[in-house]
């Protein structure tokens, strides 16, 4: 069926709106700040038989675009084996080796029926506050298997024919330190799927299933055509880049991530051969997560591309088996965020050699997953898990963003007011970090300083970070940013982790503090090409010390003070 351009545009907008409304429904009803405030969640429509992404909400995390396709396909395969699929069924699971990312991300998949057959799938994923495991908040840098990270739930039916299976709910809620929070998030996800189904009912009643299906096919084909056109505009050739993770949390040894990018006509190939092997610690990621990460990087380079599976048709991705990019059960995957951030960095670094005007320098490269947990005076359990910002890389158009969130997502950093009102902590400092940006014609953005004081009698802290040994890199001659730094206070003395960026079991007493100093972004272009007045302005604003300016830009910057 051929569909005219106007109808296609209208239907594209309508279907994006469905996914956007599903996002908004969960954001407004979730109990935990990671979803409600930071928007660490996503919703979309997925193909009836392949599970491929058809439409994703604009407010959700881009990394979930490709990953959820693997999750939906897992549900499709299970329902085919079981042979008991019916209208109103909803599946729930968090198994990272099947659905990607990590166990904190709870997935709900609902086959959407029309005229007695599956028309597409609706899916919701959200980062729950706590899903059991050895460490509150589930970022356990000492885990050597998934069972030490969280409760593992394979795909099971949460609802059968529209009827909630309370025994499944009871099992899930028994395996969290924060059952009220989990119950609220679960209800929000169920409601988001219900809304999506109602909106699809209305859309199909208005346009008909055949027209909507034709529009979905046309949108995927158009995405493929657009990608081929973008790739064709780039020069043919092969370029390589390599960067390293600090360690895996178990052995203090750097872990290289390597990529070779090759462009031939309208096809793009990314080969990660040479990347470190699978690790004992939790920086492994599943094959599906690795492929989805490539999509996120491509979307950064070609921002005009739509969010559907057609984008990946002209792109070949080689993930070496037995590597940390192709984890096999039960390898731990809790720190997947750190690994995919490094994948994006090496992709940008490689392409900067071919098309420096299309990429940015490395961003700060770690979410610094920091958890504080304990009991209140009345015995209630509390767990404060959050992620923290840093500087983005300089670009051909200007300086990097100060204190932004990681480029794997559109999530936001939870506001200090929310964190202080929800948990017994006080932020003694929440500020930009001077001298943290990589120098360049366009400098990187600044990192941040967070100093958190405990207000309860005691608590434990856990950190899962990166970039403590290998700084974010510049491109096109730009300089490196500052390294990540973490310290904690015990009995008036400050200490740093033996593995620099990862640690468990930090015991805190009332009044003691933890302190994060996050990296900035790498610089773009040679530092000596930066305008002297821009350097002087940075010094005047406190972004850069005079000594730092002298070291990075030479003494001529002082002429810009006039």
The DSSP result for 109-166, as a single string, is: EEEEEETTEEEEEEEEEEE-S---SSSTTS--TT-SSGGGTS----SEEEEETTEE-H
User: How many angstroms separate the CA atoms of 138 and 102, rounded?
Assistant: 9
Mean pLDDT of 327-349: 96
Distance CA 313, CA 355 (A): 22
Q: How far apart, in whole angstroms, are the C-alpha atoms of residue 196 and residue 18? A: 6
For 437, the token pair is 């940006």
- Using the structure block, give the residue that is written with the tokens 């996002």: 23
The confidence score (pLDDT) of residue 262 equals 98
Tell me which residue has tokens 């990460």: 293
**Does the pLDDT at position 411 exceed 80?**
no
Residues 239-271: pLDDT tens digits?
999 999 999 999 999 999 999 999 999 999 999
Q: Is the pLDDT of residue 387 over 70?
A: yes
Instruction: Write down the pLDDT at residue 12.
Output: 94
Burial class (CB in 10 A: 0-12, 13-18, 19+), 528: middle
pLDDT band at 282 (very low <50, low <70, confident <90, very high): very high
What integer is the mean pLDDT of 167-189? Answer: 97
Rounded average pLDDT over 134-163: 96
- Please state the rounded mean pLDDT for residues 495-514: 97
Instruction: Determine which helix (DSSP H) or strand (DSSP E) holds 517, and give its type and residue range.
Output: strand 513-517
Confidence grade of residue 357 (pLDDT, cut at 50, 70, 90): very high
pLDDT category of residue 358 using cuts at 50, 70 and 90: very high
Q: Which residues pair with 502 in a beta bridge?
A: 464
Range 345-354 average pLDDT: 96
The residue with tokens 């604009």 is 58
CA distance 179 to 172: 9
351 and 261 in contact (C-beta within 8 Å)? yes
User: What is the DSSP pairing of strand 315-318 with strand 267-271?
Assistant: parallel
Closest CA to 121 of 2, 18, 38: 18
Which pLDDT value is given to residue 57?
81
Distance CA 488, CA 516 (A): 9
Identify the sign of the CA torsion 30, 34, 39, 42. Answer: negative
pLDDT at residue 562, as a whole number: 67
User: Do residues 410 and 41 lie in contact, with contact meaning Cβ atoms separated by under 8 Å?
Assistant: no
Side-chain-side CA neighbours of residue 40 (13 Å): 25
Q: What is the mean pLDDT of residues 391-404?
A: 96
Output the average pLDDT for the chain.
95
Residue carrying the six token digits 């002087």: 536
Q: What is the pLDDT of residues 522-559, one digit of tens each?
A: 999 999 999 999 999 999 999 999 999 999 999 888 88
pLDDT of residue 306: 86
Rounded CA separation 326/280 (Å): 13
Residue 152, pLDDT above cutoff 70: yes
64-101 confidence digits (pLDDT tens): 767 899 999 999 999 999 999 999 999 999 999 998 89
- What are φ and ψ of residue 72, in 5° steps? -65, -40
Structure tokens at 426: 């006080």
CA distance linking residue 341 with residue 280, whole number of Å: 20
CA–CA separation, 39 vs 413, rounded Å? 9
Q: How far is CA 535 from the centre of its chain?
A: 32
* 168 DSSP assignment: H
Q: How far apart are CA 43 and CA 191, in angstroms?
A: 12
Identify which of 238, 272, 445, 268 has the alpha carbon closest to the alpha carbon of residue 342: 272
Residue pair 192/25 in contact (Cβ under 8 Å)? The answer is yes
Total number of residues shown for the chain:
562
| pTM score over 0.85 | yes
pLDDT of residue 412: 82
Question: Nearest 5°: phi and psi at 129?
Answer: -65, -40
Q: Following DSSP, what letter does each residue of 53-113 receive, concatenated?
A: EEEE-TTS-THHHHHHHHHHHHHHHHHHHH----TT-EEEE--HHHH-S-TTEEEEEEEEE
Q: What is the pLDDT of residue 65?
A: 67
pLDDT tens-digit map of 482-496: 999 999 999 999 999
Report helix angle 179-207 to 166-174, nearest 10: 140
Query: Which H or E element spans position 203?
Result: helix 179-207
């Amino acid at each position: 069926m051929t569909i005219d351009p106007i109808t296609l545009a209208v239907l594209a907008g309508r279907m994006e709106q469905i996914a956007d409304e599903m996002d908004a429904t969960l954001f407004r009803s979730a109990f935990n700040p990671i979803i409600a405030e930071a928007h660490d969640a996503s919703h979309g429509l997925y193909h009836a038989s392949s599970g491929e992404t058809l439409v994703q909400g604009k407010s959700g995390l881009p990394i979930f675009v490709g990953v959820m396709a693997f999750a939906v396909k897992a549900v499709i395969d299970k329902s085919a084996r079981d042979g008991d699929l019916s209208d109103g069924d909803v599946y729930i699971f968090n198994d990272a080796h099947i659905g990607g990312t990590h166990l904190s991300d709870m997935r709900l998949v609902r086959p959407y029926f029309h005229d007695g057959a599956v028309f597409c799938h609706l899916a919701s994923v959200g980062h729950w506050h706590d899903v059991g495991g050895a460490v509150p908040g589930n970022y356990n840098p000492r885990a050597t298997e998934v069972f030490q990270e969280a409760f593992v739930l394979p795909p099971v039916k949460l609802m059968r024919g529209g009827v909630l299976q309370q025994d499944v709910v009871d099992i899930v809620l028994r395996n969290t330190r924060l059952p009220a929070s989990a119950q609220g998030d679960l209800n929000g996800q169920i409601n988001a799927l219900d809304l999506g189904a109602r909106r699809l009912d209305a859309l199909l009643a208005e346009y008909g299933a055949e027209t909507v299906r034709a529009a979905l096919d046309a949108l995927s084909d158009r995405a493929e055509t657009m990608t081929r056109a973008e790739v064709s505009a780039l020069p043919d050739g092969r370029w390589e880049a390599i960067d390293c993770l600090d360690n895996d949390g178990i052995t203090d040894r750097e872990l290289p991530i390597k990529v070779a990018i090759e462009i031939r006509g309208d096809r793009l190939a990314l080969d990660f051969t040479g990347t470190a092997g699978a690790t004992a610690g939790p920086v492994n990621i599943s094959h599906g997560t690795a492929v989805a990460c490539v999509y996120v990087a491509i979307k950064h380079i070609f921002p005009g591309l739509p969010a559907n599976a057609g984008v990946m048709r002209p792109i070949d991705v080689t993930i070496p088996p037995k590597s940390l990019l192709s984890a096999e059960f039960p390898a731990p995957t809790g720190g997947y965020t750190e690994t995919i951030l490094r994948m994006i960095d090496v992709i940008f670094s490689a392409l900067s050699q071919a098309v420096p005007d299309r990429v940015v320098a490395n961003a700060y490269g770690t979410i610094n997953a920091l958890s504080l947990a304990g009991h209140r005076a009345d015995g209630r359990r509390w767990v404060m898990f959050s992620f923290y910002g840093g500087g983005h890389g300089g670009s051909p158009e200007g300086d990097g963003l100060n204190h932004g969130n990681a480029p794997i997502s559109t999530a936001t950093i939870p506001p200090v007011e929310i964190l202080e009102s929800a948990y017994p902590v006080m932020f003694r400092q929440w500020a930009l970090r001077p001298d943290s940006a990589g120098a360049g014609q366009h400098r990187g953005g600044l990192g941040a300083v967070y100093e958190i004081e405990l207000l309860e009698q005691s608590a434990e802290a856990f950190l899962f970070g990166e970039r403590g040994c290998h700084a974010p890199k510049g491109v096109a001659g730009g300089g490196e940013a500052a390294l990540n730094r973490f310290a904690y206070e015990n009995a008036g003395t400050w200490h740093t982790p033996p593995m620099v960026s990862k640690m468990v079991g930090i015991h805190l007493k009332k009044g003691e503090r933890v302190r994060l100093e996050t990296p900035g972004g790498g610089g773009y272009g040679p530092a000596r090409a930066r305008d002297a007045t821009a350097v002087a302005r940075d010094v005047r604003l406190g972004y850069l010390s005079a000594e730092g300016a002298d070291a990075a830009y030479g003494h001529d910057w002082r002429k810009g003070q006039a």
